[in-house]
Amino acid sequence: MRIAIVSDLHIGYERFEEDAFRQAREALESASRIADAILIPGDVFDKRAPKPEVIAQAINIFKELSEKEWKAAVVEYDNRSGRKLRTTVPIIAIAGTHERTAEGKENVLGLLGLAGLLVDASEATAVLELDKERVAVFGLGGVSEERVKEVLGVLDPKPIAGAFNIFMMHQSTYELLPFSSDIIHNEDLPKGFDLYINGHIHNRVEMQVHGKKFLIPGSTVLTQLKDGEQERKGFLLFDTKDYSHRFVPINSREFVVEHLKFEEAPPKEIVSRCEKTLEKLLSQKDGKPIIKIVVEGTLARGFTNTDLPLRNLISRNADKAVVEIDYSKLKNPDVEKGVEEVRSGTMDSMSIKEQGMVLFLAKLKEHKFENRVDAVTLFEVLSKEQSKEKTIREANELLEKGI
Ligand SMILES: [Mn+2]
């Protein structure tokens, strides 16, 4: 079976609403032409409560897809979620973090399932069939990171005998974003599945879990304007026959980031280099690209960021490109110098140890010990690197001795 994995469509994403709709439709239509089934691991919508216009966009896309002639069909659906199977159309999705609502409440992705436009496999297994080949998809809708282990423990997803088993989720794992130790590791994912697929991460990732493929197609629309988002958007096409997959690009709007560095530069120089960079990039890119210029380094003395007439540059090119100029990393030397003077004036003239001594004396005075002990010697004892027991013993000896 050829399975398209299309994720994080973010229909209704306000900054690039038109792109989100057009690119979602293109990805899904393209997928429907070359795949037997489509799996969507979350974030079809950008918001929990999208506007009716946005819901209409999604209904239009999925209605057209559901009217196509599909050879594969969803033939089984377990009802532990309490929902009924409303269609056999082989488009299986789960709710992502952007659609998630409180437990027991309806969510907008679920409504598409209720309308029979797709199969909502959040916390459920849906079985696809084509020419006697069976593919079982277990879906875990996006849950808050700290609850994943608990939810997986309760649901206890198991592969189905006689089928190719896919585990589909919408989460971060420690291997993807190693920021917190509370988050699940890849190896915590249930074993025994033939393929693991994930949404949530907006760039393409291909890893291994339990010796099997772990695939993330990335989003179909640009949302964060980070350096890592310059790759092409699209989806993945996986074939169960030979356990292979490939990336299928879509016509997404081009995005490019350029970093410019300056040293004590007057605003004129910065603006002129931004202009030249923009001109160069516009000559290389087709359509109306998204161009982000990151201005770094220092301004010449006497100027501030407000002296930079970069807004004109953005509006002058508005019909040719979406331009964003980020000068949050541009430092003002006068301000920097001021901060440095304050820092050196108050802190550097006194060593850390001296500062500690001043605080220590204040504490001794507060507890009326200042005349009962040799403060300098006691401080030395307390700041020695030795065992706590030894330090306490030595400090007690000093206190007993007195001055
Ligand atoms: Mn997303």
Tens-digit pLDDT profile for residues 274-284 = 999 999 999 99
Return the amino acid letter for 384: K
Strand partners, 124: 139
Higher pLDDT, 85 or 227: 85
Q: Mean pLDDT, the chain, as a whole number?
A: 91
Query: What is the average per-residue pLDDT within 32-47?
Result: 98
Higher pLDDT, 250 or 385: 250
| Choice among 127-136, 175-184, 250-259, 274-283 with the minimum mean pLDDT | 175-184
Strand partners, 11: 45
Higher pLDDT, 48 or 402: 48
For residue 133, report the distance from its CA to the centre of ligand 1, in Å: 31
Cβ(118)–Cβ(90) under 8 Å?
no
Domain locations along the chain:
2-249, 255-336, 350-401
Q: For 246, phi and psi rounded to 5 degrees?
A: -145, 160
For residue 235, report the distance from its CA to the centre of ligand 1, in Å: 14
Q: Residue 253 CA to chain centroid, in angstroms?
A: 20
DSSP 18: H
For residue 319, report the distance from its CA to the centre of ligand 1, in Å: 28
**Strands 234-239 and 244-249, bridge-based pairing:** antiparallel
Query: What is the average per-residue pLDDT within 26-41?
Result: 98
List b or e across 369-393, with b for residues whose CB sees 16 or more CB atoms inside 10 angstroms. eeeebebeebbebeeeeeeeeeeee
Q: How confident is the model at residue 164 (pLDDT cuts 50, 70, 90)?
A: very high
What is the C-alpha separation between 148 and 168, in angstroms, rounded?
13
**Strands 2-5 and 234-239, bridge-based pairing:** antiparallel
What is the C-alpha separation between 2 and 248, in angstroms, rounded?
13
**Strands 37-40 and 91-93, bridge-based pairing:** parallel
Share of the chain above pLDDT 70, in %: 96
What is the C-alpha separation between 136 and 62, in angstroms, rounded?
22
Higher pLDDT, 249 or 310: 249
For residue 229, report the distance from its CA to the centre of ligand 1, in Å: 13
Residue 345: predicted pLDDT? 58
For residue 8, report the distance from its CA to the centre of ligand 1, in Å: 5
What is the C-alpha separation between 7 and 218, in angstroms, rounded?
6
Cβ(14)–Cβ(221) under 8 Å?
no
For residue 181, report the distance from its CA to the centre of ligand 1, in Å: 22
What is the C-alpha separation between 387 and 300, in angstroms, rounded?
53
Residues contacting residue 220 through CB under 8 Å, at least 6 positions apart: 6, 7, 8, 9, 10, 20, 23, 24, 26, 27, 233, 234, 235, 250, 252
Place of tokens 């896309």: 61
For residue 45, report the distance from its CA to the centre of ligand 1, in Å: 9
SS3 assignment, position 190: coil
Report the candidate in 107, 154, 160, 172 with the shortest Cα–Cα distance to residue 136: 160
Six-digit token pair at 118?
Answer: 């797709």
For residue 220, report the distance from its CA to the centre of ligand 1, in Å: 10
What is the C-alpha separation between 92 and 282, in angstroms, rounded?
40
Residue 113 to residues 3, 59, 84, 109, 334: CA-CA distances in angstroms?
19, 11, 9, 7, 59
Q: What angle do CA 187, 198, 51 make, to 5 degrees?
A: 145
Q: Is 338 exposed, middle or buried (0-12, 13-18, 19+ CB in 10 A)?
A: exposed
Residue 339: predicted pLDDT? 65
For residue 286, report the distance from its CA to the centre of ligand 1, in Å: 26
Cβ(297)–Cβ(262) under 8 Å?
yes
For residue 201, report the distance from its CA to the centre of ligand 1, in Å: 7
Cβ(299)–Cβ(310) under 8 Å?
no
For residue 160, report the distance from its CA to the centre of ligand 1, in Å: 29
What pLDDT, in 10s, does the model give residues 303-358? Answer: 887 788 888 889 999 999 999 999 888 888 777 766 666 666 555 566 777 778 87
What is the C-alpha separation between 167 and 76, in angstroms, rounded?
16
For residue 225, report the distance from its CA to the centre of ligand 1, in Å: 14
| Choice among 64-68, 214-218, 384-388 with the minimum mean pLDDT | 384-388
For residue 218, report the distance from its CA to the centre of ligand 1, in Å: 8
For residue 200, report the distance from its CA to the centre of ligand 1, in Å: 4
For residue 202, report the distance from its CA to the centre of ligand 1, in Å: 6
Strand partners, 5: 39, 236
Query: What is the average per-residue pLDDT within 379-400?
Result: 85
Place of tokens 């030395």: 380
Cβ(138)–Cβ(160) under 8 Å?
no
Share of the chain above pLDDT 90, in %: 67
Cβ(346)–Cβ(312) under 8 Å?
no
Return the amino acid letter for 129: E
For residue 47, report the distance from its CA to the centre of ligand 1, in Å: 10
Cβ(209)–Cβ(173) under 8 Å?
no
For residue 221, report the distance from its CA to the centre of ligand 1, in Å: 10
Strand partners, 40: 93
Six-digit token pair at 61?
Answer: 């896309």
Largest Cα separation within the chain, whole Å, is 96
| pTM (two decimals) | 0.80
Return the amino acid letter for 390: K
CATH class of 2-249: alpha beta
For residue 60, report the distance from its CA to the centre of ligand 1, in Å: 21
What is the C-alpha separation between 38 and 34, in angstroms, rounded?
10
For residue 169, report the distance from its CA to the centre of ligand 1, in Å: 12
Return the amino acid letter for 116: G
